[in-house]
Structure 1
Amino acid sequence: MTDQTRPLRVAIVGAGPAGIYAADALMKSDTAQDPGVSIDLYERMPAPFGLIRYGVAPDHPRIKGIITALHKVLDKPNIRLLGNLDYGTDFTLDDLNRFYDAVIFSTGANADRALNIPGVDLDGSYGAADFVSWYDGHPDVPREWPLEAEKVAVLGVGNVALDVARVLAKTGDELLPTEIPPNVYEGLRNNKAVEVHVFGRRGPAQAKFTPLELRELDHSPTIEVIVDPEDIDYDEGSEHARRTSKQVDMVANTLQDWAIRDVGNRPHKLFLHFFESPHEILGEDGKVVGLRTERTELDGTGNVRGTGKYRDWDVQAVYRAVGYLSQNIAQLPFDEQAGTVPNEAGRVLENEAGDGPQRFMPHTYVTGWIKRGPVGLIGHTKGDANETVANLLEDRSAGRLNTPEEPSEDAVVKFLEGKQLPYTTWQGWYRLDAHERSLGEAEGRERVKVVEREDMFRASEPHKA
């Protein structure tokens, strides 16, 4: 049973928005009063913020502004950041159970969901997650990206597909004022793409774009957004979706307006195609030379069926933006198909449904995309965090949390030092942040992102408290 005369000790694995929101929920709870709560946020990268730093397009400062709110949480003295530490390699769940009353996993989703069509393994077929990591300066991906294709296909009609298409269609100079590192600028400056084709299997009313993200496509002076009038079609299910969702209706209206306007003369063309289901990525000598799609039609419910009519598109690269997928977490159960840790409202389930009575892993919880899958916007993870933390605190009241052998904050530091694991801190982030801003100031930009892990680590000066 948890000793309630000392602060509640909680480890959160993953310092992206989901993990930070969970820390905030704990700090705002009654538990934060005497005797208080003590939280350690573990992060695999040397810097915090996860998806915000490594999953949001660089020309979206509005979304990156969420960092301001996350900063305020991490500034709280009861929260400690321990960066550059990889769960499953540097430490285990058994290790965490030595030091904490409870553990929350918020490891997100950073891999691409599989698309099972012929040709996905061809040279020139890419996962969107890998491309996003490249243009966001992730240290664990190659520094160069092949951008030789003049005509490119993007599969998917969500915001990630729009980000990928927009970055491919913009010029390097348009993106230079953002925080992109030098290697990304050089790659995009030499990008040969002049046509980008975005393909959706269903219709305009089923697109997963948010209205603002969609409209931003048309703001670039170099990108001509083109929609075929024949792709504007609605059935009863689609009309219902428009009537019951303001966002769906706004997206549909924007697409309609683009379909009926005259095509302008901006140098880069970005086509939004609907009712085209990817059937095969075409190859020659191991390289992408085209995309074959099957035309679909609405079935009355908002879903579609194939028509048996196929079309080949002249493209030399294909980017698959069909969804993110979380990766297995050591010592936790994992649903490979859903890409989530089985859970009930954030409590980790030890056994799959149907294998007898449900059993929960003691004092082990999940939040964010590893809990519910990679759907929704960043702000939706707040609700996840609140639900998970509420159940954690309920378990505490019922005496169901862990009794750690070494609950002091110093014990964790001794453990890391004993294993000779160098780690970064929140104070180190401030130093890295100042360094990136100084790099940007020299070029008249807000910041220039540091890419190399060693350079991030050095700028953080981890030996300083």
Structure 2
Amino acid sequence: MTEQKEANRPLRIAIVGAGPAGIYAADALMKSDADVSIDLFERMPAPFGLIRYGVAPDHPRIKGIVTALHKVLDKEQVRLLGNIDYGTDITLSDLRRFYDAVIFSTGANADRALPITGIDLDGSYGAADFVSWYDGHPDVPRTWPLDAEKVAVLGVGNVALDVARVLAKTGDELLPTEIPPNVYEGLKQNKALEVHVFGRRGPAQAKFTPLELRELDHSPTIEVIVDPEDIDYDEGSEAARRHSKQVDMVANTLEQWAIRDQGERPHKLFLHFFESPAEILGSDGKVVGLRTERTQLDGTGNVKGTGTFREWDVQAIYRAVGYLSQNISELPFDDQAGVIPNEAGRVLIDENADGPARYLPGTYVTGWIKRGPVGLIGHTKGDANETVACLIDDSANFGAAESPEPEAVLEFLEGRGIPFTTWAGWYRLDAHERSLGEPEGRERVKVVEREDMLRASEPNKV
């Protein structure tokens, strides 16, 4: 019998990452039969991860997920400890002193590489960096170069559409959202008149959702244009449409846009298919164009090159070809897949060794660090349930934490002089941001500077 059972105390769990994946894991733990006490560690002073720093500001319906996450963090079994950088402020070895098990839900916040010539030119950007800027992330520059009149976005997922839509909208269109003043001022200076979105395959292989696609056409300043020659399907594409209502809805929308007359809205947003990025063209170290190779369907829904190339006049390029998780200290990492090797959430060591799998004791993963950056936010619920089921099954064999008292970790952080934030602090920051927006009739104005966030999170400091 372990010390945990003998002491008749709750199972102490640390979750590293207080985005949706981490909060869903906390919820799953509380819904299990186990008696649990959970601390959520977050690198930012505020919780909610991707919802706060990865969702476009003009998508309040997605940000509405925060309401459900709020209810989880309101539970007495959960404690938020923000502004704590895992690997610097606290390590896995430290966490093992205070907790019986640790779940990592650190997500994916870097841009996946695109290995084509010219990718490093001035004017070539990663979508994740741009998203962080317009979402007011405290750790990125406060300004963004928006002097290109013609812009390319590489990729046909929801992030690509977010980037294209923000680039094509006016600053005044986005002002009613929560964007901070520096982002509004930057977008007011945006010179983009044409935004070109490029997909390597066809309409039936696009990864964006029907709702996200249709939202492009809602702006009074954006004319969405699809070339009729890009509407093409093979046997594999038709099968995809038959088997997925979403795929069929996307294809139908694109077909309708391809046959309509072009309107007079000032900003043009072109959706190009069957164009594979081959090279970013440069002059004097700066982007001056994009070369693509025309592709064609091969019968299976995949494409092959035709050997026909085209050059596009653009002065800035954003790659939105996927997010990538970053290595986590003291844990194994699969650089190719961008995940921590795991089996149903249990962290694997010696994955390829002969004999039964070996796991890192009391260590688990959930969300994108577990399965890669695919799927929608809600899909992380299933990840969390699977991981938590494994953790509960293993709990009888956990080695007892040395100092499981809830106060022990707080004393450790205070002893290191780490200015951590709490759930009560979030309520104060939330109220402060709402007060900033109220005079302008906005729901909130996001605070950007880390020090300002910390100050607003403390009692009587604003």
Which stretch of the first structure deviates more once superposed, 80-89 or 353-362?
Answer: 353-362
Measure, in 1, the Cα distance between the counterparts of 2:147 and 2:355: 55
Q: Which amino acid aligns with 1:427?
A: A
8 Å CA contact 1:277–1:294 kept in 2: the answer is yes
| Mapping 1:286-297, distance limit 5 Å | 286-297=285-296
Structure 2 counterpart of 1:278: 277
- CA-CA distance at 1:118 after TM superposition: 0.2
Q: Deviations over 1:136-158 (max 9, x none)?
A: 00000000000000000000000
Alignment of 1:39-188 (within 5 A): 39-188=38-187
* AA of the residue aligned to 1:43: E
Matched, 1:409 2:406: yes
Deviations 1:69-124 (A, max 9, x none): 00000000110000000000001000000010100000000000000000000000
- For structure 2, the 5+ residue unaligned runs are none
CA gap 1:236/1:182 in 2 versus in 1, 3 angstroms: same
Following the alignment from structure 2 to structure 1, what is the Cα–Cα distance between the partners of residues 130 and 96? 37
C-alpha contact (below 8 Å) 1:424/1:462 kept by paired residues: no
Among 395, 410, 424, which residue is 1:427 paired with? 424
Partners in 2 of 1:462 and 1:78 — Cα distance? 23
What SS does the corresponding residue of 2:292 show, helix, strand or coil? strand
* Residue matched to 2:375: 376
Deviations 1:359-405 (A, max 9, x none): 10000000000000000000000000000000000001xx2223100
Matches of residues 12-31 of structure 1 in structure 2 within 5 Å?
Answer: 12-31=15-34
Sort the Cα spacing of 1:462 and 1:40 in 2 relative to 1 into closer, same or farther, 3 A.
farther
Match of 2:449? 452
Query: 1:442 is aligned with what amino acid?
Result: P
Q: Distance in 2 between matches of 1:231 and 1:461?
A: 55
Q: Does 1:436 align with 2:437?
A: no
Percentage identity across paired residues of the two chains: 83
Q: Output one character per residue of 1:289-317: Cα deviation in whole Å (capped at 9) or x when no partner.
A: 00000000000000000000000000000
Residue 356 of structure 1, CA deviation: 5.2
Return closer, same or farther for 1:222/1:422 CA change in 2, 3 Å cut-off. same
Q: Distance in 2 between matches of 1:347 and 1:401?
A: 13
Cα distance, 1:463 vs structure 2: 9.4
User: Hey, what's the Cα distance between the residues in 1 that align with 2:176 and 2:460?
Assistant: 33
**SS at 2:440's partner residue?**
coil
1:242 aligns with 2:245: no
CA-CA distance at 1:357 after TM superposition: 3.7
Distance 2:146 2:81 in 1: 36
Deviations 1:17-58 (A, max 9, x none): 000000000011111xxxx21000000000000000000000
1:48 and 1:360 mapped to 2: Cα distance?
29
1:247-396 maps to which residues of 2 (within 5 A)? 247-354=246-353, 357-396=356-395
Counterpart contact for 1:202–1:275, Cα < 8 Å:
yes
Q: Distance in 1 between matches of 2:67 and 2:251?
A: 33
- The alignment's TM-score, normalised by the length of structure 1, stands at 0.97
Match of 1:11 among 3, 10, 14: 14
2:428–2:459 Cα contact (<8 Å) kept:
no
Amino acid of the residue matched to residue 16 of structure 2? Answer: V
Paired position in structure 1 for 2:192: 193
| Runs of 4+ that moved beyond 4 A | none
- Aligned residue pairs, count: 458
